[in-house]
């Protein structure tokens, strides 16, 4: 006989919700039926009809014997009738509307069956959706309904034995040690008469198959809630055919107990456990508690503390309330610290919702083991008489259990007291979980209990940065979406707001929801999140992914900024890692990659071993489910479960694991995220020489990730490739300082690195770099006024530095300097900016100082973001808001007044290096300080810009035609970050370029030309007479518009001659020959010149595209030159010649 019995709960149609007329008792022996109105309005049931096994009552209810009550049923009223004979052993009973066919589901009001399945109108009830085919109530009647108006199915009915049984065990995965994610459930009723224990019950919907190989598969064990114990009694189930459910029949499950077992049963020290193929230690379990009591439970984990804590400790409590007597039993184990009885006894029930701390209300009395790290709570010493207020608090989820230790005096493990649930979930609320990230100090936590198909939500939030926004569809919701991805509203949460409108509670009575099967699957698949909307952040200020309870959790924010060499990409993602015992479950998503996911890189997604700022080997292969575009995907929990050793747990706790996603265009990784413990906020310091106020051209790099929890700032990361040795003589060598980007500040904290043998790299361990912030320091952190600085032997003030910034999709930087202006200006000023991009929201902070002029507010506010590439000027895009000192010489940009929403064009310009900062002063109205906005971290261009013409040491006479050109050309530099380069041509009086007399920005060109007339003026002003020689030094400087690198200098000797305009008629005396044509490799150019002169030669194709250009100093007579066409494509080329600025000849050549 197949039996499926579930604790079954379905959503009702609108019509059923109006009435909710239900059987609440059926007594087959006496043929008595009790019917209750669970609805809100009166219903006349006098015409309702009964049917059993296709046999109909002799008439409507009005024709039967009225035992009590009235057939005019008011809200909450009950009527009892008799006189319709039904089968005592097995039958169905259906309740129908006054008219209509009994076979029509629309006419059925309620249904139940007992003794066996498949009776009478079972198929009609199944079609109606109020009963599951195959369900029935076991045992002898009378049968009593113990559910509410919306509760459907056999799981809400009990038989006579169940009603009178002394004990009950409600089975769920949440009671296993450690909790098991399963929809399996069951109930076992037990009655003790003398030494004889009789039991009956049911279980179903197991995830795995019942496993008889585990000593028979199901047992009564000895152990308190929260601890495992040995088998005492082997139970004998009657299994369903699919092995995913079954029943316990009393005839097969009657046992004699020893005195020790009887005592343990009475002391709540026994539990029922069912073992399966998926979870051999046990998939569902239930503590045996008094049947007549209201029963509650809690699981104890460090993750439930406020703030969340990493601890291997765990435990559980079972609580039963009989009248006003509360009995608490349970156990804890594996504490990191020792039980601390000096904290008011060490264990308590506190008053407070999930997410908030509250005062002690009841002192629990633990029997602690000798190791101080485990213990039990026995019934005799933990029974309390509750007041009405305390009983209300218990039902309202306003109690939590807390265990205090020597390591964590405020509490190491904690658990919110709630119903015995199939699965208990929690959502840790933080702005860092939002997409995009929100920099909020708000906190909170939500407990979600899945009881049957009913989701019960409770918890709290506080410290919002602005008022709760009920105009956003009520303001708080359960959305459907993986971590790292936004989704639509599934359920509207109803908070009870605090007086400040920036805090609130979710009271369980107002936040109960019925899930359909799809929603149930999504919940189990980690696809729900809580979101709280505010006035400042209408899209959401606090968010928390709904995850099953666990010991501790890690988050990874995936972005290109976290790569060791940052990648500028729109790609984003988020991961959650749940740790339970030796298992880690990973879930989340990614989206908007710059190129397609590359599964050819060892599968394409992994967890690697290394600290922030360093790369490391693959440890675990992640398994994404890709979207059709190949640039987005999700990590489903079921496909990403990993075994953890104790050593691997230690690596996780040390923040030594990161997630990496590889793509076609970025094989080493496009987006990456360090696995960090749950925190209020996360911050990132990207270390580079360009972040120093006076930018340092250093090969050094690194990153430190910071976690802010309460007033604790915890840092972990690494650095490498310093240009010189780490210098511990500078107050230890590395610190957190206080000031904005671009400005220096004093040391606030000493960082403690573990140096590598080369003394040029190192790691920052979390345990050595945890700091307590004062309120003022907290404000500085939120204001972006803290930075990391690493000092070295060659750079005592600091070689690499990183501003501590909130998490963002991308970071940008710029160094302010007068030499970045077009054209360069001689300014004593300096400064820097850091910019954070989240979506299209740009936040800008930094500072400047020592301006030559005063900040000029009259020029459209004084400072702006302009559009234009390095070396070119462009129009204003955003007016910035500087807080300028009274002197007018220095100022800062604060986040609150410099946050902007970018247009698509502005966002595109930013991503392509086409925005620059410009500051106007009274001395330099067009701009005194400028810097190109470029991705962090920004390394210097190469030093390859080498002067080619004129040749080093060449002597040039400045004589003849005043329009003749002096042309300097140089080889191009390379740009390690791929930024657009511009060049300066600088001229100095000394080889060290200490006395620069000319600095010209020539844009992207590698050639600069100046006519002889200008040079002659310069030579004359320098005091040179005709025939005098001046030795000058010139060089090309490569700049990305923010930082620059000097090329190798060259000398040139200028002889001041006599300028006389060239006679155009003289051009006719020049003879030019070009051969061969067509050419293969080299063409020969021959020029007969009647007098010396400077020729400019340019080779272009027929589309005007330049092949190359050069200058050529002709001497009087025949001059020859080879032109290289080896790499030129086939076609026609034009060779254009100019002499002293005048057109000389254009020749055609074929290849």
Q: What does the pLDDT look like over 318-331, one tens digit per residue?
A: 999 999 999 999 99
Strand pairing class (762-764; 676-677)? unpaired
Instruction: Count CB neighbours of 778 within 10 A.
Output: 15
CATH fold of 810-935: Immunoglobulin-like (2.60.40)
CATH fold of 21-159: Immunoglobulin-like (2.60.40)
b/e map 542-555, b = 16+ CB within 10 Å? bbbbbbbbbbbbbb
Give the contacts of 411 (CB within 8 A, at least 6 positions apart).
305, 309, 402, 403, 404
Percent of the chain at pLDDT exceeding 90: 88
Both structure tokens of 895: 């986040």
Q: Are 24 and 38 in contact (CB under 8 A)?
A: no
Instruction: Count CB neighbours of 209 within 10 A.
Output: 15
If phi > 0 it is left, if psi is from -120 to 50 it is alpha, else beta; for residue 430 that is beta
Three-state SS string over 79-129 comes to: EEEECCCCCCCCEEEEEECCCCCCCCHHHEEEEEEECCCCCCCHHHHHHHC
CATH architecture for residues 165-290: Sandwich (2.60)
Q: What does the pLDDT look like over 15-28, one tens digit per residue?
A: 333 348 999 999 99
pLDDT tops 60 at residue 5: no
Superfamily for the 946-1059 domain: Immunoglobulins (2.60.40.10)
Residue 431, SS3? helix
Give the contacts of 266 (CB within 8 A, at least 6 positions apart).
none
Predicted structure pTM score: 0.86
Instruction: Count CB neighbours of 334 within 10 A.
Output: 15
Q: Are 223 and 267 in contact (CB under 8 A)?
A: no
Q: Are 483 and 461 in contact (CB under 8 A)?
A: no
pLDDT interval class at 14 (50, 70, 90): very low
Q: Are 1 and 245 in contact (CB under 8 A)?
A: no
- Residue in this structure with the two tokens 């071993």, named with its chain if needed: 609
pLDDT value, residue 15: 38
The sign of the torsion formed by the CA atoms of 860, 865, 868, 870 equals positive
Separation between Cα atoms, residue 844 and residue 813, nearest integer Å: 9
Sheet containing 863-867: order of strands:
876-879, 863-867, 915-919, 929-932
pLDDT interval class at 782 (50, 70, 90): very high
Torsion angles phi and psi, residue 364, rounded to 5: -85, 150
Q: Are 693 and 744 in contact (CB under 8 A)?
A: yes
pLDDT value, residue 1108: 80
CATH number for the domain whose boundaries are 294-419:
2.60.40
Both structure tokens of 432: 């860092």
pLDDT tops 70 at residue 700: yes
Residue 171, SS3? strand
Separation between Cα atoms, residue 1012 and residue 1142, nearest integer Å: 13
User: In the predicted model, what is the mean pLDDT of residues 132-160?
Assistant: 87
Separation between Cα atoms, residue 706 and residue 801, nearest integer Å: 15
Q: Are 243 and 209 in contact (CB under 8 A)?
A: yes
pLDDT tops 80 at residue 1003: yes
Q: Which of 87, 137, 141 is nearest to 111 (CA)?
A: 137
Q: Do domains 810-935 and 946-1059 have the same CATH topology?
A: yes
Torsion angles phi and psi, residue 911, rounded to 5: -65, -20
Each domain of the chain, given as residue ranges in start order, spans: 21-159, 165-290, 294-419, 423-548, 557-669, 681-805, 810-935, 946-1059, 1064-1150
pLDDT value, residue 16: 38
Three-state SS string over 1033-1095 comes to: EEEEEEECCCCEEECCCEEEEEEEEEECCCCHHHHHHCEEEEECCCCCCEEEEEEEECCCEEE
Give the contacts of 101 (CB within 8 A, at least 6 positions apart).
107
pLDDT tops 70 at residue 61: yes
pLDDT tops 90 at residue 452: no
pLDDT interval class at 150 (50, 70, 90): confident
Three-state SS string over 889-934 comes to: CCEEECHHHCEEECCHHHHHHHHCCCEEEEECECCCCCCCEEEECE
Distances (CA, A) of 809 to 560, 976, 1090, 1096: 7, 21, 66, 49
pLDDT interval class at 8 (50, 70, 90): very low
pLDDT tops 80 at residue 10: no
pLDDT value, residue 160: 87
Separation between Cα atoms, residue 1109 and residue 355, nearest integer Å: 71
Q: Are 926 and 821 in contact (CB under 8 A)?
A: yes
Instruction: Count CB neighbours of 280 within 10 A.
Output: 13
- On the question of a cis peptide bond just before residue 18, with omega within 30 degrees of 0, the verdict is no
pLDDT value, residue 6: 30
The sign of the torsion formed by the CA atoms of 190, 192, 193, 195 equals positive
Separation between Cα atoms, residue 299 and residue 308, nearest integer Å: 14
Query: Which letter does DSSP use for residue 386 in this model?
Result: P
- Residue in this structure with the two tokens 């997630």, named with its chain if needed: 659
- Residue in this structure with the two tokens 């013409």, named with its chain if needed: 949
Separation between Cα atoms, residue 442 and residue 508, nearest integer Å: 21
Separation between Cα atoms, residue 976 and residue 564, nearest integer Å: 14
CATH fold of 681-805: Immunoglobulin-like (2.60.40)
What average pLDDT does the chain have? Answer: 94
User: In the predicted model, what is the mean pLDDT of residues 313-342?
Assistant: 98
pLDDT value, residue 1: 29
pLDDT value, residue 1096: 86
Query: Which letter does DSSP use for residue 792 in this model?
Result: B
Which H or E run includes 333? Answer: strand 325-333
pLDDT value, residue 1131: 86
Separation between Cα atoms, residue 809 and residue 670, nearest integer Å: 12
CATH number for the domain whose boundaries are 1064-1150:
2.60.40.1930
Q: What does the pLDDT look like over 640-689, one tens digit per residue?
A: 999 999 999 999 999 999 999 999 999 999 999 999 999 999 999 999 99
Q: Are 77 and 88 in contact (CB under 8 A)?
A: no
User: In the predicted model, what is the mean pLDDT of residues 472-492?
Assistant: 98
Both structure tokens of 199: 């039991």
Separation between Cα atoms, residue 233 and residue 192, nearest integer Å: 14
Query: Which letter does DSSP use for residue 663 in this model?
Result: B
Residue-wise DSSP of 797-826:
T-SEEEE-EE--SEEEEEEEBGGGSSS---
Instruction: Count CB neighbours of 1081 within 10 A.
Output: 12
CATH architecture for residues 423-548: Sandwich (2.60)
Torsion angles phi and psi, residue 522, rounded to 5: -65, -40
- Residue in this structure with the two tokens 């310093």, named with its chain if needed: 722
pLDDT value, residue 13: 34
Separation between Cα atoms, residue 1140 and residue 1013, nearest integer Å: 11
Separation between Cα atoms, residue 287 and residue 273, nearest integer Å: 9
Q: What does the pLDDT look like over 1059-1095, one tens digit per residue?
A: 887 777 788 888 999 999 899 999 999 999 988 878 8
pLDDT tops 70 at residue 251: yes
Separation between Cα atoms, residue 246 and residue 3, nearest integer Å: 7
pLDDT value, residue 17: 36
pLDDT value, residue 138: 87
Q: What does the pLDDT look like over 535-570, one tens digit per residue?
A: 999 999 999 999 999 999 999 999 999 999 999 999
């Amino acid at each position: 006989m197949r039996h499926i019995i579930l604790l079954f709960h379905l959503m009702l149609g609108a019509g059923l919700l109006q009435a909710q007329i239900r059987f609440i008792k059926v007594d087959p022996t006496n043929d008595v039926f009790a019917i209750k109105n669970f609805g809100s309005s009166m219903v006349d049931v006098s015409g309702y009809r009964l049917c059993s096994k296709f046999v109909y009552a002799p008439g409507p209810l009005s024709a039967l014997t009225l035992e009590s009550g009235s057939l005019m049923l008011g809200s909450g009223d009950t009527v009892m009738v008799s006189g319709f004979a039904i089968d005592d052993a097995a039958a169905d009973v259906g309740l129908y509307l006054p008219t209509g066919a009994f076979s029509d589901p629309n006419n059925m009001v309620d249904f139940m069956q007992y003794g066996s399945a498949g009776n009478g109108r079972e198929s009609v009830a199944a079609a109606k959706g109020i009963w599951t085919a195959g369900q029935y109530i076991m045992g002898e009647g009378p049968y009593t309904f113990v559910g509410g108006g919306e509760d459907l199915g056999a799981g809400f009915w009990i038989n006579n034995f169940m009603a009178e049984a002394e004990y009950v065990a409600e089975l769920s995965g949440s009671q296993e040690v450690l909790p098991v994610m399963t929809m399996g459930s069951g109930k076992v009723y037990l009655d003790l008469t003398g030494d004889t224990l009789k039991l009956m019950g049911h279980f179903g919907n197991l995830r795995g198959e019942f496993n008889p190989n585990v000593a028979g598969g199901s047992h009564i064990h000895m152990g308190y809630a929260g601890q495992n114990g040995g088998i005492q009694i082997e139970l004998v189930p009657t299994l369903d055919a699919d092995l995913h459910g079954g029943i316990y029949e009393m005839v097969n499950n009657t046992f004699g107990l020893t005195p020790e077992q009887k005592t343990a049963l009475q002391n709540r020290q026994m539990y029922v456990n069912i073992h399966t193929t998926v979870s051999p230690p046990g998939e569902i379990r239930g503590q045996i508690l008094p049947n007549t009591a209201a029963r509650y439970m809690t699981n104890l984990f460090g993750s439930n503390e406020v703030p969340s804590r990493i601890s291997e400790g765990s435990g559980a409590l079972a609580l039963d309330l009989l009248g006003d007597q509360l009995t608490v039993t349970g156990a804890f184990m594996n504490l990191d610290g020792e039980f601390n009885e000096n904290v008011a006894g060490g264990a308590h029930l506190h008053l407070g919702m999930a997410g908030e701390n509250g005062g002690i209300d009841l002192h629990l009395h633990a029997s602690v083991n000798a190791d101080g790290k485990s213990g039990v709570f026995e019934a005799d010493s933990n029974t309390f008489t509750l007041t009405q207020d305390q009983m209300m608090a218990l039902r309202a989820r306003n109690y939590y259990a807390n265990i205090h230790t020597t390591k964590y005096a405020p509490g190491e493990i904690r658990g919110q007291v709630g119903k015995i649930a199939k699965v208990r979930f929690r959502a840790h609320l933080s702005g860092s979980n939002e997409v995009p990230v929100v920099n909020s100090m708000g906190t909170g936590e939500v407990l979600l209990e899945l009881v049957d198909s009913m989701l019960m939500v409770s918890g709290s939030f506080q410290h919002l940065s602005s008022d709760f926004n009920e105009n956003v569809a009520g303001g708080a919701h359960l959305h459907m979406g993986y971590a790292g991805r936004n989704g639509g509203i599934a359920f509207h949460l109803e908070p009870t707001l605090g007086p400040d409108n920036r805090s609130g509670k979710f009271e369980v009575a107002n936040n109960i929801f019925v899930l359909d099967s799809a929603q149930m699957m999504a919940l189990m698949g980690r696809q729900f999140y809580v979101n709280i909307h505010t006035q400042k952040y209408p899209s959401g200020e606090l968010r928390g992914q709904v995850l099953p309870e666990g010991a501790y959790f890690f988050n990874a924010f995936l972005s290109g900024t976290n790569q060791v060499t940052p990648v500028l990409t729109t790609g984003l993602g988020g991961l959650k890692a749940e740790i339970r015992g030796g298992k880690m479950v990973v879930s989340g998503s990614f989206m908007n990659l710059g190129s397609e996911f590359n599964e050819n890189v060892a599968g394409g997604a992994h967890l690697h071993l290394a600290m922030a700022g360093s790369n490391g080997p693959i440890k675990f292969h992640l398994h994404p489910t890709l979207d059709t575009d190949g640039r987005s995907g999700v990590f489903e929990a079921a496909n990403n479960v990993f075994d953890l050793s104790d050593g691997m747990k230690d690596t996780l706790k040390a923040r030594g694991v990161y997630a990496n996603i590889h793509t076609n265009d970025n094989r080493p990784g496009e987006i990456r995220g360090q696995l960090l413990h749950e925190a209020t906020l996360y911050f990132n310091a990207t270390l580079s020489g360009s972040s120093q106020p006076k930018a340092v051209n250093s090969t050094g790099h690194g990153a430190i990730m910071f976690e802010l929890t309460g007033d604790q700032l915890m840092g972990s990361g690494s650095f490498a490739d310093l240009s010189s040795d780490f210098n511990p003589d500078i107050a230890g060598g590395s610190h957190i300082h206080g000031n904005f980007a671009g400005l220096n500040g004093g040391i606030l904290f000493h960082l403690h690195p573990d140096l590598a043998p080369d003394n040029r790299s190192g790691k920052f361990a979390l345990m050595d770099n945890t700091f307590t912030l004062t309120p003022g320091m907290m404000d500085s952190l939120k204001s972006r006024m803290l930075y990391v600085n690493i000092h070295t032997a060659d750079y005592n003030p600091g070689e690499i530095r990183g501003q501590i910034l909130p998490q963002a999709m991308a970071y940008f930087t710029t160094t302010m300097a007068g030499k970045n202006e077009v054209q360069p200006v001689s300014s004593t000023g300096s400064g820097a900016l850091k910019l954070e991009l989240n979506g299209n929201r740009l936040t800008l902070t930094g500072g400047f100082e020592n301006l030559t002029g005063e900040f000029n507010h009259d020029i459209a506010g004084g400072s702006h973001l302009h559009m234009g590439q390095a070396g070119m000027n462009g129009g204003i895009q955003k007016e910035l808001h500087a807080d300028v000192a009274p002197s007018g010489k220095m100022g800062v940009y604060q986040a609150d007044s410099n946050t902007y929403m970018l247009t698509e064009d502005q966002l595109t310009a930013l991503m392509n290096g086409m925005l620059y900062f410009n500051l106007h002063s009274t001395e330099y109205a067009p701009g005194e300080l400028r810097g190109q906005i470029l991705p962090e971290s920004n390394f210097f261009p190469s030093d390859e810009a080498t002067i080619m013409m004129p040749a080093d040491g060449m002597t040039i006479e400045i004589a003849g035609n005043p329009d003749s050109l002096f042309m300097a050309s140089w080889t191009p530099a390379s740009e390690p970050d791929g930024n657009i380069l511009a060049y300066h041509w600088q001229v100095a009086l000394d080889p060290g370029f200490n006395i620069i007399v000319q600095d010209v920005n020539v844009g992207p060109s590698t050639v600069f030309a100046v006519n002889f007339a200008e040079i002659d003026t310069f030579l004359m002003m320098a005091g040179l007479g005709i025939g005098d020689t001046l030795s000058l030094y010139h060089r090309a400087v490569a700049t990305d518009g923010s930082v620059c690198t000097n090329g190798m200098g060259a000398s040139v000797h200028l002889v001041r001659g006599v300028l006389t305009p060239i006679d155009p008629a003289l051009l006719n005396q020049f003879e030019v020959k070009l051969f061969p044509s067509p050419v293969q490799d080299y063409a020969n150019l021959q020029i007969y010149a009647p007098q010396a002169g400077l020729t400019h030669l340019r080779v272009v194709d027929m589309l005007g595209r330049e092949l190359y250009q050069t200058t050529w100093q002709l001497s009087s007579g025949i001059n020859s030159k080879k032109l290289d066409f080896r790499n030129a494509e086939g076609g026609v080329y034009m060779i254009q010649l100019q002499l002293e600025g005048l057109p000389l000849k254009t020749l055609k050549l074929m290849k």
